[in-house]
Structure 1
């Protein structure tokens, strides 16, 4: 198994108080890690979304969110994942799937609590700006006790184990339960912080499985960019989209800058988006909003 180790001093997605309502209070933007040094091309590729972009709209169809269980041979337990099905989901249609990974301090509920991907996609589908898709939000902490408890840094190795859980257990469970298109070009992988690092590590080294890859505020791993993209020609040929984004107040910006420099130097097409946020849900939600408008289009 290809594994990776995140630098524990930097990898944690900053803790946010969990709230059950649809619009959690946003934490203040934070400086995280070391103060970032900006380069000339560290600019926003997109404007901030319009006000109300994530609000529930009563005049449009809504998708369905459900928590399901699956058997993980990798971990040896029954595990949970959160699944969004688009409005009008039908077993007579085949849907693309986005696998969306959380940070080191989160779990299968984090994306829904912090960024409301279902609201985003409901609104974008209604406006004709996104493809109807299934979003799968699994738990990237592949160990028997997968709760974000105690010192979450100690669970970092379990995020490497999740590579096999994702490929061998999560994806087969989703494809057995839902009406999905199993073509690699209909499968995407993205994540925030630790999940962004996982997405780059797993997605770029499994281009036979994922054609769309996104990292938001990606945490570091010990692999250099040339190890993540060992075959430049294959990456150019097989990737439908490679997305890198980070806030210009995020101390982890250097991780994404290094990857961007490698991709730019090797002329590998990708989106490079540096907005004015920190290591926080505002950046993650805004980035997901635009990522959803690019993926499967």
Structure 2
């Protein structure tokens, strides 16, 4: 890995919350090369923030896209999660889900926008997540469409509760989705049992497209791991940011 990609600025932040039981949430914020507070930047909000930075190598990949591909500099905000309550926060039938979604839109976004020069239109905000993180990104967008209309879903966990919510939407023409799924995810063991994630994503794609959403959908060889998702991050981020 070339040295120029490894020079990264990553700030640690803590945002306080009335909605989260612990009263706060840790963030990590990647600032692009040449960061300047008088400019304004698109922003990528990642669920499972620690994993996106450590296993997804999102900061290094972002540097590569900006330095080598000429993509306009952007900021990445990783939102940490306690794995013990991850399902409760990310699943739409989880007991902490509604409050997490409110925290994200009503506390996290204003916090980031008060501290960093990020753009404030839905076209300049991207929600990204893997597995249930992809799912909760969709539900945040569905709940707050005036804030979010772009979602990157890496092997989204579109269980029945999620699909029912998607199916209940009348018009999703405003939603822009990038979905990727590994063909070896057809018998993945989750905390809810064994699921065919390929079938889950094919079904979700159909529901999205029937309601007019714009969907880029990728199936390729891969398992339900960061080794697979990391390879997809350059192209999937470029899809949204290289415009």
TM range (shorter): 0.7 to 0.9
Which residue of structure 1 lines up, in the alignment, with residue 179 of structure 2? 244
Which residue of structure 2 lines up, in the alignment, with residue 136 of structure 1? 77
**SS of the counterpart of 2:120?**
coil
Match of 1:78 among 20, 24, 28: 24
**SS of the counterpart of 2:113?**
helix
**SS of the counterpart of 2:179?**
strand
**SS of the counterpart of 1:271?**
strand
Q: Structure 1 or 2: larger strand share?
A: 2
- CA separation of 1:160 and 1:215: change in aligned 2, threshold 3 A: farther
Which residue of structure 2 lines up, in the alignment, with residue 197 of structure 1? 135
- How far the C-alpha of 1:129 sits from its partner, in A, is 4.5
- CA separation of 1:229 and 1:273: change in aligned 2, threshold 3 A: farther
In structure 2, what is the Cα distance between the partners aligned to 1:253 and 1:231?
A: 25
Which moves more between the two structures, 167-176 or 252-261? Answer: 252-261
Q: Structure 1 or 2: larger helix share?
A: 2
List structure 1 segments (4+ residues) > 6 angstroms apart after TM superposition.
none
In structure 2, what is the Cα distance between the partners aligned to 1:169 and 1:266?
A: 30
Map 1:24-173 → 2, pairs under 5 A: 55=1, 57-59=2-4, 62-75=7-20, 77-102=23-48, 108-140=49-81, 147-149=82-84, 156-173=94-111
1:43-102: CA deviation from partner (whole Å, max 9, x where unpaired): xxxxxxxxxxxx3x2246844112111111212513211111111111100111111112
Map 1:211-290 → 2, pairs under 5 A: 211-221=149-159, 222-224=161-163, 227=166, 230-232=169-171, 235-236=172-173, 238-239=174-175, 241-250=176-185, 251-290=196-235
- How far the C-alpha of 1:220 sits from its partner, in A, is 2.6
In structure 2, what is the Cα distance between the partners aligned to 1:186 and 1:168?
A: 17
Gaps of 5+ in 1: 1-54, 103-107, 141-146
- How far the C-alpha of 1:190 sits from its partner, in A, is 1.3
In structure 2, what is the Cα distance between the partners aligned to 1:161 and 1:294?
A: 30
1:246-292: CA deviation from partner (whole Å, max 9, x where unpaired): 10011322221111122344553210001100101122112222111
- CA separation of 1:59 and 1:75: change in aligned 2, threshold 3 A: closer
Q: Aligned pairs, how many?
A: 226
CA RMSD of aligned residues (A): 2.3
- Is the 8 Å Cα contact of residues 200 and 228 (structure 1) preserved in structure 2? no
In structure 1, what is the Cα distance between the partners aligned to 2:40 and 2:150?
A: 18
- Is the 8 Å Cα contact of residues 99 and 135 (structure 1) preserved in structure 2? yes
- Is the 8 Å Cα contact of residues 192 and 216 (structure 1) preserved in structure 2? yes
TM-score (norm 2): 0.83
In structure 2, what is the Cα distance between the partners aligned to 1:80 and 1:88?
A: 25
**SS of the counterpart of 1:176?**
helix
Which moves more between the two structures, 125-134 or 194-203? Answer: 125-134
**Whose Rg is larger?**
1
